[in-house]
Amino acid sequence: MGLIKTEKFSKEQNEIALIAKVIGHPARVAILQHLFKINACVCGDLVDEIGLAQSTISQHLKELKHMGLIKGNVEGTSVCYCIDTENWSKMKQIMSQFLDQDVSNSTCC
């Protein structure tokens, strides 16, 4: 079917999955890393930086923006992107809580 049965899972489980999913593509990882590295706004050199078509990058940016991980400000004819620090922190906390589950006393297998 290709259709995820979200109704079978908790809100938290769906949220974790959605966050992970948006990070689950190397182009989006690369975009985020670049925005962190520059540590400021970036106005469109992402297409050169990553080797994909302009329309493809634009689509990935849209997804990142939709999940709230980045912000985009229009500056004349170009658009200025950067990490949405507030949402990034929230997202980080949700993921960290999931990743940090204690694993010490698993004496099985």
Partner DNA sequence: TTTGTATATTGCAATATTACGATTAAGTAG
Partner DNA sequence: CTACTTAATCGTAATATTGCAATATACAAA
Question: What DSSP character marks residue 53?
Answer: -
- 106 binds DNA, rule: CB under 7 A: no
Count of residues engaged in binding a second copy, rule: CB under 8 A: 56
Write the DSSP symbol of residue 42: B
If one asks whether residue 44 binds DNA (CB under 7 A), the answer comes out as yes
Straight-line distance from the first to the last Cα atom of the chain, in angstroms, rounded to the nearest whole number: 34
Provide the 10 A C-beta neighbour count for residue 87: 14
Report the sign of the C-alpha dihedral through residues 35, 50, 93, 15, in that order: positive
Using CB under 8 A, which of 33, 54, 59, 78 touches a second copy? 33
Query: Which residues in this chain contact a second copy in the complex, by CB under 8 A?
Result: 4-6, 8-10, 13-14, 16-18, 20-30, 33, 36, 39-41, 50-52, 71-73, 80-83, 85, 88-89, 91-92, 95-96, 98-109
